[in-house]
Amino acid sequence: MAKDVSITMSWTGFKKFDKRIKKFDERTQANMLRRAVRKGNKVFRVAGKANAPVGHSKRLRKSIKSKVSKKFGAIKGTTGVDAGRGSKNDAWYANFVEYGTKTRVSTKKIFHPRNLPQWWRTDVFKDRPPTSLKSFPATRFMKKTFESNQDEAIRQITREVRRTVIASFRGTL
């Protein structure tokens, strides 16, 4: 997944749930939290696909993926654009859509006979600038998705943990 476009949310707190969760063995805790993080990721994934700008191939929308990983004992859920080589819907341009492009001017330092430096623009032709210097505004669709759906994702995570804890106390797990 493209790191620049991915959004990571950290979920801590909820002392009541932490006390109940600690009563279970490690495997049950990990399964419970993994399911909860998947529910939270689903909120971001569905909203991200709805907010993504649609081109003629809808590749950007199709490439929004979620994944859950466990590293150093922490369960981490990530939702972002799968922009790697070899993926079916490779949206390699996702960073340009999210952050935009801007005109960048390259300069070159040239020394004259008296060793006084002068800066010359090397990217401009005499008649007109090259067409590759067009700028494209940022849409920030994944950031907007995260900000507008953060409360709903936390609600889904809390609901799933609560459901699992209650079900385990009833003995239906």
CB neighbours of 118 closer than 8 A, spacing ≥ 6?
A: 109, 110, 111, 112
Mean pLDDT, range 58-85, rounded to an integer: 85
Residue 9: pLDDT over 70? no
Mean pLDDT, range 18-34, rounded to an integer: 82
Prediction pTM value:
0.70
Kindly report, residue by residue over 72-115, the tens digit of the pLDDT: 878 888 898 887 677 677 788 888 888 887 765 555 556 666 66
Q: Where are the domains of the chain?
A: 7-99+137-170
Residue 45: pLDDT over 50? yes
The token duo for 61 is 């929308």
Percent of the chain with pLDDT over 90: 16
